[in-house]
Amino acid sequence: MKIGIIGTGAIGSILAKKLSAAGHQVKVTNTRDMATLREIATNLGAQAASLEDVVKEVDIIIFSIPFKAYKDLPKNLLQDVPQKVTIMDTSNYYPFRDGQLTGLEGKTESEYISQTLGRPVIKVFNNIMEYTLKHKGKAAAEEGRIAISVAGDNEEHKKVAAELVDQTGFDTVDGGSLAESWRQEPGTPAYCTELDAAALKEALAAAEKGKAPAVRDAVMGKFQNSKLFPSNEEMVTINRSTAAGDLK
Ligand SMILES: NC(=O)c1ccc[n+]([C@@H]2O[C@H](COP(=O)([O-])OP(=O)(O)OC[C@H]3O[C@@H](n4cnc5c(N)ncnc54)[C@H](OP(=O)(O)O)[C@@H]3O)[C@@H](O)[C@H]2O)c1
């Protein structure tokens, strides 16, 4: 498939590398000048493209940029992109980093992103940490394969997203509609807790509406209070225990 990725940071670069290794034709963009972008793209096995060109003649577009950056994208960016193109979004909202955003209140993060882009998105790759995505993928049916949830309103596009997730080494669980996607936002039991498919399904069902922001902020407080930057294992432990109710 032809895939355009916007953002070559922690998540976008891993996705570009894994998906081009899986045989897809990948092009990438970021905010750098074209010479720097070309160097980055080559190292990822991808082609460099401008923001305008990265969304042209592709089957899938993956946005992997900071949550606060969407509002500043050109309003007509996806205007000529056919409806059959799957638009995927990996983003998460952290107020301490992204600030207060007009239009977010009362919506799930993905509903806000869909409204900002003017197109429905599939929320995916948001509830897996960079380290996990890079190092913990397994072959299909291998024991202990970690799962990622996929939320959205278009079943065909969710299937496309699930296939890509599989190719990066992870199982998927249906996260429901975009309106339900709060169940996989930061601070929920499903968020970056490295669960297999059965456990992730339970975690999504166990999420309690309205609780996640306090848990999310408590997790960040614990990370900041760590003497050293916590390891992946420590972060998973903190995510799990805080979501289970240990806010201190
Ligand atoms: N890090 C994680 O563990 C993790 C896990 C799951 C989901 N997420 C979410 O996924 C998203 C990306 O996270 P990340 O950690 O990969 O972020 P990151 O390392 O900060 O990378 C962000 C990328 O977005 C690019 N970018 C920013 N504004 C842009 C614009 N207007 N046009 C084109 N490119 C733009 C940046 O370009 P430059 O390189 O030129 O600066 C950079 O390549 C975030 O919303 C984050 O919350 C992160």
Identify the CATH number of the domain in which residue 175 sits.
Answer: 3.40.50.720
Compute how many other C-beta atoms are within 10 angstroms of the C-beta atom of residue 83.
9
CA 130 to mean position of chain CA atoms? 10
Atom 19 (ligand 1) nearest CA: 9
Q: Is the CB of 95 under 6 A from ligand 1?
A: no
Shared-domain flag, residues 82 and 130: yes
Shared-domain flag, residues 53 and 168: yes
Confirm whether 248 is domain-assigned: no
Q: Is the CB of 29 under 6 A from ligand 1?
A: yes
Confirm whether 137 is domain-assigned: yes
Determine the 3-state secondary structure of 146 from DSSP: coil
Confirm whether 105 is domain-assigned: yes
Shared-domain flag, residues 168 and 225: no
Shared-domain flag, residues 190 and 126: yes
Query: Residue 228: its pLDDT value, please?
Result: 74
Shared-domain flag, residues 70 and 135: yes
Tell me the mean pLDDT in the region 215-222: 94
Shared-domain flag, residues 167 and 99: yes
Can you say whether the dihedral through the CA atoms of 204, 209, 211, 212 is positive or negative?
A: positive
Determine the 3-state secondary structure of 73 from DSSP: coil
Can you say whether the dihedral through the CA atoms of 65, 69, 74, 80 is positive or negative?
A: positive
Q: If you measure from the C-alpha of residue 117 to the centroid of ligand 1, how many angstroms do you get, rounded to a whole number?
A: 16
Query: Starting from the edge strand earliest in sequence, which strands make up the sheet with 60-63, in order?
Result: 47-48, 25-29, 2-6, 60-63, 86-89, 122-123
Q: If you measure from the C-alpha of residue 10 to the centroid of ligand 1, how many angstroms do you get, rounded to a whole number?
A: 7
Shared-domain flag, residues 86 and 169: yes
Query: Residue 248: its pLDDT value, please?
Result: 87
Domain count, the chain: 2
Shared-domain flag, residues 73 and 177: yes
Shared-domain flag, residues 43 and 73: yes
Using CA atoms, how far apart are residues 125 and 164, in angstroms rounded to an integer? 10
Q: Tell which residue, 190, 171, 175, has the closest CA to residue 239.
A: 190
Tell me the mean pLDDT in the region 29-41: 98
Token couple for 161: 């997203």
Tell me what the pLDDT averaged over the chain comes to.
97
pLDDT tens readout for residues 188-207: 999 999 999 999 999 999 99
User: What is the pTM (predicted TM-score) of this model?
Assistant: 0.98
Give the burial string for 143-157 (b: 16+ CB within 10 Å, else e): eebbbbbbbbbbeeb
Range of the domain at 236: 212-243
Shared-domain flag, residues 178 and 197: yes
Shared-domain flag, residues 192 and 217: no
Shared-domain flag, residues 75 and 174: yes
pLDDT tens readout for residues 62-107: 999 999 999 999 999 999 999 999 999 999 999 999 999 999 999 9
Tell me the mean pLDDT in the region 226-230: 80
Q: If you measure from the C-alpha of residue 34 to the centroid of ligand 1, how many angstroms do you get, rounded to a whole number?
A: 18
